[in-house]
Homo-oligomer: A and B are copies of this chain.
Amino acid sequence: MALSATRPTMRDVAQRAGVSLKTVSRVINDEPGVATDTAAKVGDAIAELGFQRNDLARSLRHGRSSMTLGLIIEDVANPFYSAMAQAVETAARERGLMLITASCEEDPAREREMVTALLRRRVDALLVVPAGPDHRWLKDAAVGTPVVFLDRPPGDVEADTVLIDNVGGARQAVEHLIAQGHERIAYVSDAGNLWTASERLNGYRQAHEAAGLPIDDALVRPGTHRAEEAEAVVASLLANERPTALFSANNRNTVGALRALRATGQATALVGFDDFELADLLGATVVRFEPAALGRHGSALAFARLDGDDGPPQRIVIPTELVRRGSGEVRPGAEVGS
């Protein structure tokens, strides 16, 4: 019984069972060549002492794998990222890996900090939603460790990457609004220097160009990260610039836009990028894609590298789809109600 303060080691087990260290090791790792009764003795000793293998020591000795996957995202509490994280965790578990997740909240310094912490821990592979603009340092630091970029491509470096079809999805959304007869379509998004935001802005522009519609720059409002900021910006847009339609470029902005629209009661059309729970009840038309697909494909790419694939960097693009639920089908000049 008397479990000492310090955990029992294989040596303790060996002593208690009256065998050698190596025999204990064999039993623990199910290696062949152990007599049934010796195995039983060892098993008893393990149970009596409450021994648990130290996987830190094991990894150190074994040299290669720590049976760990690292994931760096912006914010676990955002459903977009948590859906991604869930997919990665599932894939990791299927391979017997544990997942270490770190959020860096769009802070490049923290991103770097987290990456180094994970590499020091010798994660087997790294999945990263990059925050900073340049990632040569990352590829250099991670030499030997597969790195896959999710949602945004790395800066100045070639690497496996999984992206959403941002341009296509945004274009689809805005073309839909234009098809309803809208000519003053506002654009609200996260910080404009964010790759996804600028890609979606490209889609917005392309749709206008294709339709021969001019863009009023006053309607283009990047820079709102949180839902509250988006709500304020949209409220101001509605009051001053009088757009007849809105394209919100991510789920935070869509939430803010919905609140602002409800508050004014104006019949303004809205299409959001990224679906969200209860969008059906709110009648929100969105560009939908599968956030989990980022995690699934990302881990598959990483695992392929671990299994020896040394082909050229892959780039996978997840398709999008327009889901009509009402808010995107409001016509310009329509009355409130529907």
Task: Give A residues with C-beta under 8 Å from B.
Answer: 3, 5-7, 50, 52-57, 59-60, 66, 68, 75-77, 79, 82-83, 85-86, 89, 93, 98-103, 116-122, 140-141, 143-144, 255, 258-259, 262, 276-278, 280-282
Once bound together, how far apart are the Cα atoms of A57 and B121, in whole Å?
9
Cβ contacts under 8 Å, A50 to chain B: 140-141, 143
A124 to chain B, nearest CB (A): 12
Which 7 pairs between the two chains have the least Cβ-Cβ distance? A55-B120, A82-B82, A77-B86, A76-B86, A55-B121, A56-B60, A76-B82
Cβ of A100 and Cβ of B100 under 8 Å apart? yes
Once bound together, how far apart are the Cα atoms of A54 and B119, in whole Å?
8
Closest residue of B by beta carbon distance from A113: B93
Cβ contacts under 8 Å, A99 to chain B: 100-102
**What are 30 A-B contacts defined by CB distance under 8 Å?**
A3-B143, A6-B144, A7-B144, A50-B143, A52-B119, A52-B141, A53-B120, A54-B122, A55-B122, A56-B56, A56-B59, A56-B60, A56-B121, A57-B60, A75-B86, A76-B86, A76-B89, A77-B79, A77-B82, A77-B83, A79-B79, A89-B102, A89-B103, A98-B118, A98-B121, A100-B100, A258-B278, A259-B280, A276-B278, A278-B278
Cβ of B86 and Cβ of A103 under 8 Å apart? yes
Copies per complex of this chain: 2
Cβ contacts under 8 Å, A76 to chain B: 76, 82, 85-86, 89
Cβ contacts under 8 Å, A59 to chain B: 56
Cβ contacts under 8 Å, A86 to chain B: 75-77, 103
Once bound together, how far apart are the Cα atoms of A272 and B101, in whole Å?
31
